[in-house]
Amino acid sequence: MLTRREWMRQAAGVTAVAAMPGLLGSKGHAKTPSSDDQAISGAGSLKAHAAARGLLTGCAVNANLLREDEGFRKLLAEQYNIVVPENCMKWNILRPTADTYNFTDADSLVAFAETHGMKVRGHNFVWHEALPGWFATAVNKGNAQKFLVDHIRTVGGRYTGKMHSWDVVNEAIWIPDGRPDGMRTSSPWFQMLGPGYIDLAFRTARAADPTALLTYNDYSIEYDNDEEGKKRTAVLALLRRMKADKVPLDALGIQSHIHSVSKDGFSRGVSELIEGAKALGLQVFVTELDVNDDAIDTDDMAERDKIVAEVYRNYLTAALNGTEVKAVLTWGASDKNTWLNHGTKFRKQHPDRTQRPLPFDPEYAPAPAFFAMRECFDNAKKR
Ligand code: XIL
């Protein structure tokens, strides 16, 4: 079985070389490891290749790694021009009690981004998950509106003028809940405020931060199958209804938690989302891309990485086909930290195997997916 580094050498010698002149010596042989490293930074970085096409590229940032891991900070600064907090702008982190805020980690991330000239996406104002323990007892039908508005005013207001975009509402559609419009009735926000919580959140967000692009973000809307097709249709109908009602809405976030093995494709799904958003004058962001590799049979790491990279290539080829998608962010940068390895929820078929869903391996070496991303940026039209 090949090690990751051996595989990288081989890949650089066969497939990736054409797109990476910097990796070749004058006779076409792969250079030493130190110049390999050189070739993925600076002009070879994800952000340089993305920027050449007017694209933003980034990743979700884990606050602990940002605080404690210098290698991680270096990787972020080297590779990305936009970041999104993995967790530290969610209610359960920002709101230790009903009447206090803790901005420590969120402020650190925004400051880090400012220092390195990166943009920041906010994630998120309203979600049915990541609510603090006190929420269920303190928030009720009588005061939910005040909690929602105060939260968005306080958090949105704090970072006004510093944010590229905000995921204002996350995952509001859930078909199994059975409503004709697809709204997630099991969300506490829906239960306390009814469907109007969505418009309220967007209007409050616009007032709190007039310059951030206000985004609706959702998942399992990408694949060409009935289930995701229904959800996709409901999401697009929601966005159309919001636009008709003059709700301030600027972008659709396609989370893009995709799978290495699937009987369904995603070309039609992705293009329906993009065309639907385009018809409404919305920008589109790929907000949380990763490739779940649990269903890959082989344990050969190099083989798995290759399959994952191929899925990246196919997906980004579809997503970057037109010019609507303006930003591509992965959910994490390195396999050292991916939510897919928390517990075994996403490792049902191979519980003893850690997943490798991201463009950098646990040692921060570029994985084949890194080269697939760069190649897709190179192939994209200029935005
Ligand atoms: C995940 C984080 O990665 C985990 O660390 C956390 O425990 C749960 O949330 N969709 C989203 C993200 O919008 O906020 C989720 O992030 C992943 C799925």
Angle between helices 144-158 and 197-208 (to 10 degrees): 30
DSSP H/E element including 56 = strand 56-61
Domain ranges of the chain: 18-379
| Choice among 171, 228, 324, 375 that is catalytic | 171
Question: So what's the pLDDT on residue 3?
Answer: 46
Do the Cβ atoms of 44 and 373 come closer than 8 Å?
Answer: no
Active site (annotated) includes residue 70: no
Distance 133 CA to ligand 1 centre (A): 17
Active site (annotated) includes residue 171: yes
Which atom of ligand 1 lies closest to the CA of 217?
A: 13
Q: Which CATH number fits domain 18-379: 3.40.640.10, 3.40.50.720, 3.20.20.80, 3.40.50.360?
A: 3.20.20.80
Low-confidence ranges of the chain (pLDDT < 50): 1-35
Which atom of ligand 1 lies closest to the CA of 219?
A: 10
Q: Which of 83, 87, 252 maximizes ligand 1 atoms within 8 Å of its Cβ, making it the mutation to test the pocket?
A: 87
Give me 52's structure tokens.
Answer: 């050449």
Q: For residue 156, give the nearest of 118, 196, 110 by alpha carbon.
A: 110
Question: So what's the pLDDT on residue 110?
Answer: 99
Question: So what's the pLDDT on residue 33?
Answer: 45
Ligand 1 within 6 A of 360 CB? Answer: no
Do the Cβ atoms of 367 and 4 come closer than 8 Å?
Answer: yes
Distance 86 CA to ligand 1 centre (A): 6
Q: Which runs of consecutive H residues, i.e. helices, occur in the chain?
A: 4-14, 33-39, 46-51, 63-68, 70-79, 91-94, 104-115, 135-138, 144-158, 188-193, 197-208, 226-244, 267-279, 301-319, 368-379
**CA 239/CA 199 separation, integer angstroms:** 10
Question: So what's the pLDDT on residue 194?
Answer: 98
Q: Cα 136 to the chain's mean position, in Å?
A: 28
Contacts of 196 (CB under 8 A, 6+ apart): none
Question: So what's the pLDDT on residue 38?
Answer: 54
Ligand 1 within 6 A of 290 CB? Answer: no
Residue percentage of the chain with pLDDT more than 90: 90
pTM of the model as a whole: 0.92
